[in-house]
Amino acid sequence: MTAKEYLQQIYVCNRRMKRIQETREQLRIDMYSIGSPMGNMSSDRVQTSTSGDKFGRMIARVDKLERDLVKEHGRMLALKDKIIRQIEAMDNEQQRSVLYNRYVLLHDWETIAEDMNYTTRRIYQIHGEALLEFRKKYFSVFQ
């Protein structure tokens, strides 16, 4: 794993959480479009549909997704905290700023350049230097 890949884990966790949330919301929409499993049953008819089972499976799936979301959120917070501490421990302020803005705040290069009053090209240079220094400082993390 490279230093860049290591730092990008926050972004990857955010994307994974977003996918879980979107899936959960779609299942909820699907679940409510089914309607109540008992809603259309008449006391005079025998119900042979398995829509109740489908409804129950959907509820179980939503519940699992919510548990996955909580677990992923906890993992992301722990990882984010670790990466922030590692970035903050770097010696060079410019490098700290670039890494923090890019990998923690998820800012684009132009925003970082504007905030730091540098050209985008200079931000790329600082970023490259910062990745090298980060790797040197935390070499054991990448083993």
Mean pLDDT within 107-113: 98
Confirm if 51 and 41 have CB atoms less than 8 A apart: no
Average per-residue pLDDT in the chain?
A: 84
Mean pLDDT within 63-72: 83
In the structure, what pLDDT confidence band is assigned to residue 27 with cuts at 50, 70 and 90? confident
Q: Extract the tokens encoding 116.
A: 């730091």
pLDDT at residue 48 greater than cutoff 60: no
pLDDT for residue 113: 98
Our measurement of the distance from residue 81's CA atom to the centroid of its chain's CA atoms, rounded to an integer in Å, reads 14
What does the DSSP assignment read for 105-128? S---HHHHHHHHT--HHHHHHHHH
pLDDT for residue 143: 62
Cβ count within 10 A of residue 58: 16
pTM: 0.70
